[in-house]
Amino acid sequence: MPASIDSSHYILVVDDEPLHRRLISIMLSRAGYAIDTAKDGREALAKIRMHRPTAIILDLEMPELSGLELLAKMAQDPALKTIPTIVVSANADKPEARALLSRYYTFVDVIQKPFLKMHLLERIQHTQRPSSAIHNGVSHSHFAD
């Protein structure tokens, strides 16, 4: 991430398909987010450690290091395990995948491919709320009513 990018709205898009990375990046850029991309989990982990994103859009099935393997590595690192992660995958809505994903604190939600732009933007906006902690698709307010 270049130094000139506002790190308060920095999202890392991780997908092995160049077209998917580009489309998601365009959608989010037009909505005002600073975007960086990674082609696999290994590249993503290096970028995450260099410049902590405010959210991650993650595909599950990738070479080198899969999305699940990346989530496992993030879960072991206290500096990374609280980064909200939205899984965007053709297979992520299956019960087996949801069960695996629910183990990781950073996992926020699943968007099934193909998806609508508004669904992605809604979920990203949800992760950017400073008054909410998000866990497995549920928002928990930090403040009592």
For 109-144, the pLDDT digits (tens) are 777 666 656 667 777 777 665 444 444 443 322 222
**CA Rg value for the chain:** 14
pLDDT category of residue 93 using cuts at 50, 70 and 90? low
For 20-79, the pLDDT digits (tens) are 999 999 988 988 889 999 999 999 999 999 999 999 999 988 888 988 899 889 988 988
pLDDT (0 to 100) of residue 108? 66
pLDDT (0 to 100) of residue 7? 56
Kindly list the structural domains of the chain, giving each domain's residue range(s) and its CATH number in brackets, ordered by start: 9-140 (3.40.50.2300)
Question: How much is the pTM?
Answer: 0.76
Separation between Cα atoms, residue 108 and residue 139, nearest integer Å: 9
pLDDT category of residue 90 using cuts at 50, 70 and 90? confident
